[in-house]
Chain A
């Protein structure tokens, strides 16, 4: 069997290995590219110091997962016009939020906890990522992430910072069947609420000006105040003066019911106030008895406190204070209800008032005195209706501006409470070129291994089926295979076939035994190999003492010389000198007319010449 030579095996299959590896690498590259994902990531940091305690600015628990809440994502889907294309859940599942903990603070926390002290630390920096498929591309990943954080910043501010909205509560008020007085009261209350909210904003940031609307909160407050002072009060005045109502009876009933309700709630409040007073007395008595009230002005706490302890914003009200406040609140609501009843009485009196022009008819009528006898009533009512419509239009425009300003303020506050440490960057989840290169090398190694195994297996098969075990030359089956494989191919120049036949082998076998015959064959084998030396030759033992040598890159004369040398060596042999050996040698070289293996072999057979070695 041939020697184990790794390079020989690889060299044989190298072109196939290269082609296979290149094709397989391309397939891997294509698969990796198509299954690859683009991950857009951004680093955000909550600036509020409460965030490190895991709290939002309002003191509520800070839940970072709100970034991927359906409230945020549904807005993103709407904003990007992806409704019906992407489901909110599918986008949510692609968002990932990873906290980045401050190593120093973690170490500090561990140290404090080891000492048995309480220390709260929660990471306030996060990586927010969104994964897009290769089909969607890097831009999609970046845009979704950008829009998500945009919406989240605004919502964060709305929910945890700028909590009081300035809602338009009077929208379409004229479309409902409200009476004029009720409408005006609702408008007045609405403006009052809006002004309270606006003043809160002014306290927070008095010079904030929206770039979209170009107005500040104080300008909006001035506008609302101006409308209230001029138009609202003018309308109120006209409604009172001309007793303008859609239905006097319903209006009077409404205000009478309000008075009744106030009377009932006041009676209830009286009872509560009495109970609270009893509780206050009992509380003080108990505190006195337990000695808790014996603190003198000289009492000083032992421990030194930092200023931030005093600044801690939280409910520090003690029970006694709560009782006192409760007393005050109940009394206040009672007293305010009394004043409200007085106001209702004033309204009722105003609309029941008889100017004297109707001759007392209004007392029993469903119409007011002015409506009954003032000719101007209809035109004034029309005027009021028009003015009211104009006022509502003006207020709606103002509310729209307020909403826009507030929305921008939310974005502004959101961006000041959460900062971006690193803007959106997109990376591929798999480094395709690197993995493709690794795959290529892996395939090459695998294929080379396969080639070695196949090569060695081929050697074994060759040895079993295509090797003559006496001479260790290729056997007849090999020659047949060789000739078949060369059937459709042309031989290259320099191909020389040489035949050596032991002519009297049968005779030798018969006279000297088969063993001697075998030894003669072995001797021929040895001399042939020795004579051909390092030439590029394939050796075949065709059976019955017939040898075929297929030399490449050679010529007739060289092979003839080799045969001459062979004959010389045979004649000078040391062994079996007593046996006369007859043999034939045929040599043929390729030329124009015989370029196929079979033709060349026939030519070699034809050219056989007989020789004898008889020492």
Chain B
């Protein structure tokens, strides 16, 4: 604040000196004739050692304050390095919005990261400006341009003058990078804390494991679809990792763990569990009845569809490859048949669920109460859980490796401080101005006050 004031004060003093000297010359001009005036200008010593020294000292003082003022302004360039950036998209396919670089969330994060004191989000945000480094136009197609490099400028205000400018811009860009990675790069949601298996039925634990492994598989298959040939540092591909997880799910969870529980009828609360399955069967049976009725009705509708109304017309058609084939018009029974098939599938699925539950009820009812078996299952559950977590970590590591490979760190940041050349340019201009003002003052003194 003080440096800004002093810097401006120096410029003001020199400016006033310049104007006053010019005014004196103007008003005293009438006291001399043209020849005398010309003589004054001709005889003035334009290279005066004392003036040069004075000018040098003033310029140095100005330079010091100017340097401190310039230090308050810095800028950074943020480049988007991923392929979707050229379509004005984030790496997750959503629309890219440049304004997010200095959004409240990012500024908040920067303040938090740098533990910046005595500054609010709004005050800091007001000091920041963001704009594309290169912008296109909309007049003609050749002018179209998708910006992938953005400049962030920081100009300290009176509220933020106590902060180190370079540090602020570093914090902002770093906070934005984190914000971007959090919001727009590949992410695999980790399961929340480990559930309390002691309170869960064993078959529910199996279902939980099934769900968790499916989640990992879904992530891996998704990544494999993006790039199935990507090889991690551990020489695995997404598909090979998915294969291992799938194999584990089938053998360890579905065969070993589930079968062991089923065949031994291991249950924590037999009565409650059997009640639950029985009730579930009752509900599924209502669904089965509804699906069965819908299936029957579709069949009846097909039966009552008049034979005369089933006439079809052949339509000569060519496909997208340019090949000819004979299409036929559809009639209602086509759709009814498809519908009947799906209802039939639902009925089968309902019946299978009831049968599975009945099997469970039978096995659990005749179950073994041996506490040793419970201990074995608990140990198995813990081991499987640990393995699943291991797969989860491996999957996330592979995913992050891929993201880093694909997006080249997503965004790159370069920070630009004060340019020495710019500073020198300002100093040279100031020195010329100051010397001109001093010289004008010297000349003005040579003009007589009165005729």
Taking Cβ atoms with an 8 Å cutoff, the residues of A that contact B are 41-43, 127, 129, 138-139, 142-143, 146-147, 149-150, 153, 207-216, 218-219, 222-223, 225-226, 229-230, 233-234, 236-238, 240-241, 280, 284, 287-288, 293, 295-297, 299-301, 303-307, 309-310, 316-318, 320-321, 324-325, 327-328, 331-332, 335-336, 339, 342-343, 346, 408, 411-412, 414-416, 419-427, 488-493, 595
In the assembly, what is the distance between CA of A295 and CA of B328, in Å?
13
Chain B residue with Cβ nearest A277: B304
Excluding A216-B215, A425-B137, 20 further A-B contacts by CB distance (< 8 Å) are: A210-B92, A210-B187, A211-B184, A219-B214, A222-B215, A236-B283, A280-B304, A297-B314, A301-B314, A304-B318, A325-B301, A335-B290, A335-B297, A339-B290, A408-B94, A415-B93, A420-B87, A421-B146, A422-B138, A490-B33
Structural contact, A209 and B222, CB atoms closer than 8 A = yes
Instruction: Check: B49 CB closer than 8 A to any chain A CB.
Output: no
Chain B residues lying within 8 Å of A297, measured Cβ to Cβ, are 311-312, 314
Closest 7 CB pairs of A and B: A214-B189, A321-B332, A207-B222, A420-B88, A422-B144, A293-B308, A425-B135
Chain B residues lying within 8 Å of A147, measured Cβ to Cβ, are 97, 99
Chain B residues lying within 8 Å of A325, measured Cβ to Cβ, are 301, 332
Structural contact, A237 and B98, CB atoms closer than 8 A = no
In the assembly, what is the distance between CA of A425 and CA of B78, in Å?
17
Instruction: Check: B375 CB closer than 8 A to any chain A CB.
Output: no
Instruction: Check: B319 CB closer than 8 A to any chain A CB.
Output: yes
Structural contact, B138 and A41, CB atoms closer than 8 A = yes
16 A-B contacts (beta carbon < 8 Å)? A41-B138, A42-B138, A139-B129, A153-B94, A209-B188, A210-B92, A212-B187, A280-B304, A300-B313, A305-B316, A309-B317, A321-B335, A416-B93, A422-B146, A423-B96, A490-B31
Structural contact, A212 and B183, CB atoms closer than 8 A = yes
Structural contact, A492 and B208, CB atoms closer than 8 A = no
Chain A residues lying within 8 Å of B183, measured Cβ to Cβ, are 211-212
Chain A residues lying within 8 Å of B88, measured Cβ to Cβ, are 419-420, 423
Structural contact, A240 and B279, CB atoms closer than 8 A = yes
Instruction: Check: B327 CB closer than 8 A to any chain A CB.
Output: yes
Structural contact, B30 and A489, CB atoms closer than 8 A = yes
Chain A residues lying within 8 Å of B182, measured Cβ to Cβ, are 212
In the assembly, what is the distance between CA of A297 and CA of B312, in Å?
7
In the assembly, what is the distance between CA of A316 and CA of B335, in Å?
12
Chain A residues lying within 8 Å of B286, measured Cβ to Cβ, are 339, 342-343
Looking at B189, B286, B304, B317, the one whose CB has the most chain A CB atoms below 10 A away is B189
A102 CB → nearest B CB, Å = 11
Structural contact, A237 and B275, CB atoms closer than 8 A = yes
Total number of A-B contacts with CB less than 8 angstroms? 261
Instruction: Check: B384 CB closer than 8 A to any chain A CB.
Output: no
Q: Mark B86-119, 1 if CB is under 8 A from A, else 0.
A: 0111011111111100000000000000000000
Chain A residues lying within 8 Å of B1, measured Cβ to Cβ, are none
Structural contact, B211 and A222, CB atoms closer than 8 A = yes
Instruction: Check: B422 CB closer than 8 A to any chain A CB.
Output: no
Structural contact, A138 and B290, CB atoms closer than 8 A = no
Structural contact, B214 and A218, CB atoms closer than 8 A = yes
Chain B residue with Cβ nearest A232: B280
Chain A residues lying within 8 Å of B93, measured Cβ to Cβ, are 412, 415-416
In the assembly, what is the distance between CA of A335 and CA of B208, in Å?
37
Contact of A324 with B290 at beta-carbon distance under 8 Å, contacts A218-B218, A335-B297, A422-B138 already known: no
Structural contact, A490 and B135, CB atoms closer than 8 A = no
Structural contact, B99 and A412, CB atoms closer than 8 A = no
Instruction: Check: B130 CB closer than 8 A to any chain A CB.
Output: yes
Structural contact, B309 and A293, CB atoms closer than 8 A = yes
Structural contact, B184 and A324, CB atoms closer than 8 A = no
The contact of B316 among A288, A300, A423, by CB within 8 Å, is A300
Structural contact, A305 and B315, CB atoms closer than 8 A = yes
Contact of A328 with B327 at beta-carbon distance under 8 Å, contacts A209-B219, A301-B316 already known: no
The contact of A139 among B96, B130, B293, by CB within 8 Å, is B130
The contact of B95 among A234, A307, A411, A493, by CB within 8 Å, is A411
Structural contact, B315 and A211, CB atoms closer than 8 A = no
Chain A residues lying within 8 Å of B382, measured Cβ to Cβ, are none
In the assembly, what is the distance between CA of A288 and CA of B189, in Å?
63
Chain B residues lying within 8 Å of A138, measured Cβ to Cβ, are 131
Chain A residues lying within 8 Å of B215, measured Cβ to Cβ, are 215-216, 219, 222
In the assembly, what is the distance between CA of A339 and CA of B200, in Å?
33
Chain A residue with Cβ nearest B184: A211
Contact of A211 with B186 at beta-carbon distance under 8 Å, contacts A325-B332, A328-B336, A408-B94 already known: yes
Instruction: Check: B190 CB closer than 8 A to any chain A CB.
Output: yes
Chain A residues lying within 8 Å of B293, measured Cβ to Cβ, are 332, 335-336, 339
Instruction: Check: B445 CB closer than 8 A to any chain A CB.
Output: no
In the assembly, what is the distance between CA of A412 and CA of B92, in Å?
7
B341 CB → nearest A CB, Å = 15
B198 CB → nearest A CB, Å = 15
Contact of A213 with B301 at beta-carbon distance under 8 Å, contacts A153-B95, A423-B88 already known: no
Q: Mark B131-161, 1 if CB is under 8 A from A, else 0.
A: 1100111100001111100000000000000
Chain A residues lying within 8 Å of B294, measured Cβ to Cβ, are 332, 335-336
Chain A residues lying within 8 Å of B96, measured Cβ to Cβ, are 423
Chain B residues lying within 8 Å of A225, measured Cβ to Cβ, are 211
A230 CB → nearest B CB, Å = 5
Chain B residues lying within 8 Å of A212, measured Cβ to Cβ, are 182-183, 187
In the assembly, what is the distance between CA of A139 and CA of B306, in Å?
69
The contact of B225 among A143, A207, A296, A320, by CB within 8 Å, is A207
A401 CB → nearest B CB, Å = 8
Instruction: Check: B421 CB closer than 8 A to any chain A CB.
Output: no
- Of residues 387 through 428 on chain B, the ones whose CB sits less than 8 Å from some CB of chain A are none
A3 CB → nearest B CB, Å = 27
Chain B residues lying within 8 Å of A426, measured Cβ to Cβ, are 135
- Of residues 416 through 445 on chain B, the ones whose CB sits less than 8 Å from some CB of chain A are none
Structural contact, A332 and B280, CB atoms closer than 8 A = no
Instruction: Check: B227 CB closer than 8 A to any chain A CB.
Output: no
Chain B residue with Cβ nearest A294: B311
In the assembly, what is the distance between CA of A341 and CA of B16, in Å?
98
A551 CB → nearest B CB, Å = 16
A118 CB → nearest B CB, Å = 20
Q: Mark B186-206, 1 if CB is under 8 A from A, else 0.
A: 111110000000001100100
The contact of A211 among B35, B92, B317, by CB within 8 Å, is B92
- Of residues 150 through 179 on chain B, the ones whose CB sits less than 8 Å from some CB of chain A are none
Q: Mark B22-38, 1 if CB is under 8 A from A, else 0.
A: 00000000110111000
Chain A residue with Cβ nearest B323: A307
Instruction: Check: B41 CB closer than 8 A to any chain A CB.
Output: no
B285 CB → nearest A CB, Å = 10
Instruction: Check: B298 CB closer than 8 A to any chain A CB.
Output: yes
Structural contact, B34 and A492, CB atoms closer than 8 A = yes
Chain A residues lying within 8 Å of B200, measured Cβ to Cβ, are 230
